[in-house]
Amino acid sequence: MKLCFYLATKNKNKFKEIREIIGEEIEILLPPDNIEFPEEKGKTLEENAFLKAEYLSRFIKNEYIVGEDSGLFVEKLNGLPGINSAIFSGERDDKKNIEKLLYMMKDLKTKESRKARFITVACLFGKGEKVFFKGEIEGYITFEPRGLNGFGYDPIFEIPEIGKTFAEMKTEEKNKISHRSIAFKKLKEYLIKKAKEG
Ligand code: IMP
């Protein structure tokens, strides 16, 4: 039987990215349409990833469930926007979130002072599992948005070795290096290894 897990998200961008990262070997299923996730109340990415997975497990039994939480952490802003990245401006609005962040960073004039990292935590839950997988990538916040691909803060997150923002990369390019791909490739290896053993 093909390996599969439910992804505890309503975010179509994340679903698409994760499906491309995981590839054909594992099937990824979306939660039923009538399920709405509660507001994220955790204080860490780990807690939120777990809470999403645990919530879905109330409706879906005897299956693997994966909760994912991610955020952008700017060094000089003591880790803001952090776990509240999705609603940093007070609204779930990528453009406004970017505007607020760039405004807060307007006095940080050097590249070095604009260091940031994206972090993803995935929590594999169900069938007796509760395991966390983490992925991180370092970059710089640009002075203005560049590129049209991706979502969230992609237009202002530049990868130093490549000199492009995530939004200037094709999906395949982002998926080779992103925080989300690092976390989900670890999860994939874990599931495949377990399936072989068991
Ligand atoms: P979550 O749904 O609580 O995990 O919110 C994550 C938020 O962090 C998203 O809404 C984005 O604003 C931001 N974010 C996470 N991963 C990425 C990414 O790969 N690119 C751009 N923004 C991201």
Task: Quick: pLDDT tens for 14-58.
Answer: 899 999 999 999 999 999 999 999 988 999 999 999 999 999 999
Q: Are 54 and 125 in contact (CB under 8 A)?
A: yes
Q: Are 124 and 190 in contact (CB under 8 A)?
A: yes
Rounded to whole angstroms, the Cα distance separating 1 from 168 reads 39
> Is 11's C-beta closer than 6 angstroms to any atom of ligand 1?
yes
3-197: CATH topology is Maf protein (3.90.950)
The pLDDT score that the predictor gives to residue 184 is 98
pTM of the entire predicted model:
0.96
Task: Cite the beta strand spans of 75-128 per DSSP E.
Answer: 81-82, 115-126
Question: pLDDT in tens for each of the 198 residues of the chain?
Answer: 789 999 999 988 889 999 999 999 999 999 999 999 998 899 999 999 999 999 999 999 999 999 999 999 999 999 999 999 999 999 999 999 999 999 999 999 999 999 999 999 999 999 999 999 999 999 999 999 999 999 999 999 999 999 999 999 999 999 999 999 999 999 999 999 999 987
- If one residue of 16, 36, 51, 70 were mutated to test the ligand 1 pocket, choosing by the most ligand atoms within 8 A of its CB, it would be 70
> Is 165's C-beta closer than 6 angstroms to any atom of ligand 1?
no
Rounded to whole angstroms, the Cα distance separating 42 from 146 reads 32
The residue from 69, 93, 94, 107 that is catalytic is 69
For residues 108-142, b (16+ Cβ closer than 10 Å) or e, as one string? beeeeebbbbbbbbbbbbbeeeeebbebebebbbb
Rounded to whole angstroms, the Cα distance separating 19 from 36 reads 21
Rounded to whole angstroms, the Cα distance separating 151 from 98 reads 11
The pLDDT score that the predictor gives to residue 40 is 85
The pLDDT score that the predictor gives to residue 198 is 75
Helix (H) or strand (E) holding 131, with range, is strand 129-141
The pLDDT score that the predictor gives to residue 92 is 93
